[in-house]
Amino acid sequence: MQIQNNLVVSGGWKFQFIHDGLFYINPPNSNHSLNSVKNVNCFPVNFLLAESESMTILVDLGIGSLPGNFFSRCENSTHIPIPEKLDHIQVNKLKAIIFSHLHLDHIGNYLEFNRSSYSENFKDIPCYVSRLEWEFRTSRLPKADEVYRKYYKALEKHIRLTEDGQEILPGIETKYMGGHTPGHQIILFKTEENTLCFSGDIIATENQLQKNRSLPFDFDPEYSKKLRGIILEQGRENEWIFALNHAPHVNFKLLEKTGKNL
């Protein structure tokens, strides 16, 4: 097993995060320094690339090319189109995209925005999201912004709805949690050496991992705090590696039963 700031090699799998912009608690203005994660108002946005000898999996899809005037909390001025960013991935090995939830900073790269039109970055790739998340989001579409409708219409063709505890591919399990969004799910990669947990925005930073603190925008903050306690207890007992998608410094942390983190 090998663990670095942005690389885990375990049980025949390689995990690394792909940086895809910045998310601001408050929309940036003249008092905020763009491109600086030192700003406490700002968090990086990353999505997970998981590769084995036989398959490649993407977990969440970052901000993408969403126009800034639509989603002012995100800064993606250095956006690189997905075909260029993932040019080393063999297309025939990309087996699935798994979404922890459907906030726009987690699905952005599914479509590519160019001036006034959208095109699909992924075709014929199954996309997994929890049944509760999909049903909640699509029930609100009649009143949603046109951009949301475009994303969900594109996703609808390839969506696969998951249930709690479902093994969607060998060794890859989704677990329904809720909290941050009504249908938020975590993704567990169970390798021969360890379990890697992508906990999405339930546990997305080192601070949340160590002190069970919330980030803004939780659908149910109190329930999210309770969920973090449960996940952290399971993670420490079973020595999970946590993949932290909004962490500014270290993206992977191993929880040990002793309570000391690597």
How many other CB atoms sit within 10 Å of the CB of residue 91?
Answer: 11
Phi and psi at 32, nearest 5°, equal -105, 140
109-136 average pLDDT score: 91
pLDDT in tens, 155-187: 999 999 999 999 999 999 999 999 999 999 999
Q: Give the mean pLDDT of the chain.
A: 88
* Mean pLDDT on 234-254: 93
Complete edge-to-edge strand list for the sheet that includes strand 166-169: 166-169, 172-176, 185-190, 195-198, 241-243, 252-254
- Per-residue confidence (pLDDT) for residue 259, from 0 to 100: 54
pLDDT over 90 at 125, yes or no: yes
Domains and their CATH numbers in the chain: 2-254 (3.60.15.10)
pTM (two decimals): 0.92
Question: pLDDT tens across 57-101, in order?
Answer: 999 999 988 766 667 778 877 788 887 888 777 767 899 999 999
Q: Tell me the pLDDT band of 227, cut-offs 50, 70 and 90.
A: very high
Tell me how far apart the alpha carbons of residues 163 and 130 are, in angstroms, rounded to a whole number: 6
What does the pLDDT read at residue 5? 87
Per the rule left: phi > 0, alpha: psi between -120 and 50, beta: everything else, 156 is alpha
pLDDT at position 220: 92
